[in-house]
Amino acid sequence: MHFLEGLLQLAFVVGNDEFLIIYAFVGAVEVFFGCIELGLARDVGCKQGLLVGAKEFLKLFAVSVEARHGFEFSKGFLILAFESAELGFNITRERICTSWLDPETKMIPQWSLIKIVVISTVVSMPWADANRFRINKAKSKENGHPSLLYPKDTATRELKRLDGVWDFRLAPFNNSEIGFTQQWFSQPLRNTGTVLDMPVPSSFNDITQDRKIRDHVGWVWYETNFIPPQSWATDSRIVLRFGSVQYLAVVYLNGNLITTHVGGHLPFESDVTTSLNFGSKNRITVAVNNTLDHNTVPQADIYQRPGAEYAVQDLFFDFFNYAGIHRSVILYRTPQTYINDVTFVTLEVNEEQSNAQVSVSVDIRPATTGGLECLLVLEDHTGSIAHSTSIDLDAANSVSFPLTNARFWWPYLMRTDYGYLYQLKLNLQRKSDGLLLDSYDLPVGIRTVSWNSDQFFINNSPFYFRGFGKHEDYPIRGKGLDWPYIIKDFNLLHWVGANSFRTSHYPYSEEIVQTADKYGIVIIDEVPAVALRYFHASVLDVHKQMVAELIQRDKNNPSVVMWSLGNECKTAINESQPYF
């Protein structure tokens, strides 16, 4: 036992998967000679004892290895081993060696049990591909920047959607790293083998009739080509933005690594100004991995049944793990001096007097730029100016102001003019000559949220949530963005008299949130921390990243009144207390 522990510890230290293979091999050899020495008996009754013993021992062993080495892969390894061992016992239950059972407890001793578990695992797992059970740190060391402002055309901004039919290829489960070892990103994807047509945005799972694609666990590869406008080549900042990729994305542009992102459902982007070939063809290659394990949010177990050609994810939640490029891929242009972020806050409202106090803050990049001001114009739904002001950016980056004759944002059925939105128009310009540098329009609602021990209030009026915990799944396209379904859903919400929903159990698309603003539907915004049961530091890092990215994305949407940190997490587990 100490010998195997030593090999395992060495594997963690040197980061070499070969030692994991040796570890399994030594156990397999000992089981082989143990079977020869003891002989195989025919005792069907020992199966239950073996499985109960296996389950309890694996729990203890996993906790021990994690405490000593801080390496979550061992848990995945042991859980997979237990699944494989259980299946093996079902097949060969009449040939299990009764000599290994303790005569008093009728349970197998721990040392003999680990031998059976190891050999069952060796038989059922392609060990050469151990990397598929964990995120390769080299690929994810720099997470993509969260997207701050939703891309749109303005007087100074342009965008080019890259949606359409992309080339698509699965990496085989038993050699899922092949795309990286053979550098598929360095050449057209169709040169590496057979590719399929894959619509973007969509989930890849239900597009074909192939079960292996539907249930695939591991890496898949996407590719498309585009030509950026030649007019973008000067005085521009060019950004490549993904609305959502589930779960891990590694993005290449013309064969060069551009960015990575961990966690689905939320947008990320990267400045690609210096990486583009203007006026000629450019190639985007995206490696996507949908693997969920004990270090992801949400979580799952992974196992492969003996003889199967693909892995199975044992999800801890009750919905399908759709995967792929789920939302629009956009290339957009801004000026080199630009509005990076805007935050709009309603400080207070007075419904009787139709007055409100609001604040606006802006973030300008580069931050060192001087001599600038930002003009703010708040327009009502007719285009009339409700208020105008400016921020002298040499002195401040925010301003607050009163709004008279204000029209508030109300939920559906709470007032007749529900979902009322203003347009906040921002113009960044030089103070010296008024030269326009950048512009952006942001829909905003005048709305406050408050509560006490008994009630929840919107604009100081009691609000009762009538609605649903819904999902974002649709036939064929999975979690792919689909405008007809979005509008149909909101018409149904109005039809049944609902005024709210929770984004169970992950962030829905920005387009859904924006539509909720217009339809007066209140949202409880939830991150994908559903049924968490492992509370490692690495999980907490991802979880906090998702919360921060969600708030950053939806902070200006009046429909969002609450942030949900998770759903049905196993808070009875002691480790969850310091976590939360």
Would you call 196 exposed, middle or buried from its count of C-beta atoms within 10 A (0-12, 13-18, 19+)?
Answer: middle
Residue-level pLDDT at 318: 86
pLDDT band with cut points at 50, 70 and 90 for residue 543 = very high
Three-state DSSP class for residue 361: strand
- Residue 356 pairs with which residues in a beta bridge? 349, 403
Residue-level pLDDT at 369: 75
Residue-level pLDDT at 142: 52
DSSP string, 89-156: HHHHGGG--GGGS-TTT-S--HHHHHHHHHHHHHHH--GGGGGGGS--TTTSSSBPEEP-S-----SS
Cβ atoms within 10 Å of 280's Cβ, excluding its own = 9
DSSP string, 414-480: TBTTTT--EEEEEEEEETTT--EEEEEEEEE----EEE-SS-EEETTEEE---EEE----BTTTBTS
Out of 34-38, 323-327, 362-366, 558-562, pick the least confident.
34-38
Identify residue 565 by its one-letter amino acid code: L
Question: Is pLDDT of 520 > 70?
Answer: yes
Is-catalytic flag, 511?
Answer: no
Show the domains of the chain with their CATH numbers.
2-125 (no CATH), 145-334 (2.60.120.260), 338-449 (2.60.40.10), 458-579 (3.20.20.80)
Residue in the block written with tokens 């609605």: 467
Entry pTM: 0.77
From 309, 526, 568, 575, the catalytic residue: 568
Residue-level pLDDT at 4: 45
Question: Is pLDDT of 317 > 90?
Answer: no
Residue-level pLDDT at 75: 42
Cβ-defined contacts of 363-369 (< 8 Å, 24+): 363/148, 363/339, 363/397, 364/337, 364/338, 364/339, 364/340, 364/393, 364/397, 364/428, 365/337, 365/338, 365/340, 366/337, 369/337, 369/393
Under a CB-based contact definition with an 8 Å cutoff, are residues 317 and 298 in contact?
yes
Span 182-230, pLDDT tens digits? 999 999 999 999 999 999 999 999 999 998 899 999 999 999 999 999 9
What one-character DSSP code corresponds to residue 397?
S
Span 286-313, pLDDT tens digits? 999 999 999 999 999 888 766 666 778 8
Percent of the chain with pLDDT over 90: 67
Query: Mean pLDDT throughout 263-276?
Result: 94
Residue-level pLDDT at 55: 47
Name which of 470, 254, 448, 452 is nearest 359 in CA terms: 448
